[in-house]
Amino acid sequence: MDEYVKTGSKALKDVFWIFVIAFALLFMHRKPEEANTIYYTLAFPVLIFIVYYLHVRLFPLGEIQFVILTAFLTEMGLIMIYRVAPELLVKQIIWIAIGFGLYFIASYLFKHYGWLYNLKYGEYIYIFLAVGLIISTLFFGKEIGGAKNWLTFDGIYVQPAEAAKVIYIIFLARYLKDKRDLKNILILGAITIGIAGIFALEKDLGMAFLFYTTTVLMVFLVTSNLFYVASGFGLMAIGGILAYFLFWHVRVRIEAWLNPWMDVPGKTYQIVQSLFAIAAGGFFGTGLGMGHPEYIPVVASDFIFSAICEEFGILGGIAIILVYFVIMYRGIKVALEARDEFGALMAAGLISMFSLQVFTIIGGVIKFIPLTGVTLPFVSYGGSSMVMSFFTLGMLNGISVGEEEEDVQFEAQY
Amino acid sequence: MYYILSQILKYVLIFLIYLFLYRVFKIIYMDIKGVRRERQLTSAKLSFLTGERTFTLFEVTSIGRSDECDIVIESPYVSARHALIKKRGKRFYIEDLNSTNGTFVNGKRVKVARIKNGDIITLGDVDLKFIV
């Protein structure tokens, strides 16, 4: 146990030195315009160490690795954001601080998650909340970057779909815990196809894919029935083909995926720039400040992975992917060790959604699958995504802490 | 000047990133090994009060009449899976597995209890002494 903690703090020290070297270089490369930027940047390592200390104190049995890994990911994000869009840095640091706060709140909220299951009419409440959040942007939403998935409140932009993700997972866990015969699975399928349809109308294909695939995975988890999975993916293929012929924006995406060289200055500009950036990086990257990530469109949010690949090389990119694998491993472990089926399902759903999101965007920017705009959790710039990613990990931490504490209480009984 | 610095430091950064990854994976390795440690022997022992037999305890030891248990006690009053002794840190805990006749520590019926050196554990009609 002792060595366990020691290795953790050594890993955190590595994160700190990466921070020092990278930001020393960056501040030399481009002098910060305001003193504020420097103060906030210096606040970041302090924040990480406070969070680490608090986590060790409050949840001695919790998933401390989540803090170490997210510290690394958010830091890589900050480095790249300062590189491509320095004015966003301060905002991003504030979002990270809020995110860590929510992480602790979620940990406490979900330590005793039984009430979520026992809530009367729970599944109806969850599904109406989730669908309500998703539909809200269809009526009141604002279109940014091609997808109508934003709400604005006095200049603050939020993506309700991010919150809907978590609520939808709770709904799935609650629903599938008791209802798993053919009729109920069919009802669930109809609901999911409806949700994917709403997303398709909002032109948010990434989210449609995420919600749909997560549901298929969860159904497989509870029924272990390959037929459901096969028909689920079959329907997705049919839906994809239909969407290809029905919607113009789907056709553009798929054509850009099949042949990115057909219209480089126009339709396929994004993906081609991303590929150029990754190619320019090579193994070790161009070095911080030496590449041209500013040529990539929306580089601070969706395409941040290409920018990292350019300046840190493919080795840096692989490191990011490996870190996501470790988070996935921890999440699956939480699911395996959860104290009841509801908790296990919830943890499995959360981590599947999280991992699928990572797969969707990294696969998209390296042209492994058609590009869809979702954010890279913890790395991309974006408030809603950052906050909800932290919330997700907080829930997982809560589920794992809860079960451990149950044990301790158990021991005291005579 | 900046160019040279950036070129040198990019290798340093990659090195640090992989050092970080190495440590993260080391933690996972220790984690997985920790699960396997359940089968490791400890210094604690459990012996019959009559002195006929002495068992060495694992990190997690199950006791019962069934052959699947780590310690098999052939007595009609002992349940198939009767109790579990776990080591947590340096302490040992005994947990009753809903046995018919109960688990007693120093004469007191317990569900879960910490056990110390010299405690007498009663399972059904069998008395055992716990020695660290």
**If residue A405 lies in a helix (H) or strand (E), which one and from where to where?**
helix A383-412
More confident call, A361 vs A159: A361
**Could you tell me which residue, B89 or A222, shows the higher pLDDT?**
A222
| pLDDT at residue A307 tops 80 | yes
Tell me what ipTM this predicted complex has.
Answer: 0.87
Give CA–CA dist A201/A196, Å, rounded.
Answer: 9
pLDDT of residue B25: 92
- Residue B78 CB partners (closer than 8 Å, separation 6+): B63, B64, B65, B99, B101, B123, B124, B125, B126
Distance from the A102 Cα atom to the nearest Cα atom in chain B, whole angstroms:
24
User: Are the beta carbons of A207 and A361 closer than 8 angstroms?
Assistant: no
Chain A residues with CB under 8 Å of B11 CB are 284
Could you tell me the sign of the dihedral formed by the alpha carbons of A152, A153, A156, A162, in that order? Answer: negative
Sign of torsion over alpha carbons A299, A304, A309, A312: positive
- Check: CB of residue A232 under 8 Å from CB of residue A189: yes
Evaluate if residue A362 carries a pLDDT over 90: yes
**How close A187 gets to chain B, by Cα (Å)?**
40
Nearest by CB to residue B14, choosing from A72, A313, A412, is A313
In the stretch 6-35 of chain B, residues with CB closer than 8 A to chain A read 6-7, 9-14, 16-21, 23-28, 30-31
**CA gap A148, A200 in Å, rounded:** 10
Q: In B, residues 91-120, which contact A (CB 8 Å cutoff)?
A: 93, 108, 110-114
Q: Is the Cβ–Cβ distance between A299 and A288 less than 8 Å?
A: no
Kindly tell me if the per-residue pLDDT of A144 is higher than 80: no
Nearest CA in chain A to B94: A411
Average pLDDT over residues A333-342: 85
Quote the longest CA-to-CA distance of chain B.
85
Contact call for residues A258 and A250 (beta carbons, < 8 A): no
Please tell me the distance from the alpha carbon of residue A140 to that of residue A135, in angstroms, as a whole number. Answer: 9
Question: Residue B115 pLDDT more than 70?
Answer: yes
What digits encode the pLDDT tens for the residues A391-400? 999 999 998 8
User: Are B24 and A284 a contacting pair at CB < 8 A?
Assistant: no
Say whether B27 and A1 touch across the interface (CB within 8 A): no
d(CA B34, CA B36): 5
Interface test mutation site (partner A, options B5, B10, B85, max chain A beta carbons within 10 A):
B10
Which secondary structure element, helix H or strand E, spans residue B95, and what is its range?
Answer: strand B91-96
pLDDT tens for residues A82-134? 988 888 889 899 999 999 999 999 999 888 888 888 888 888 888 898 888 88
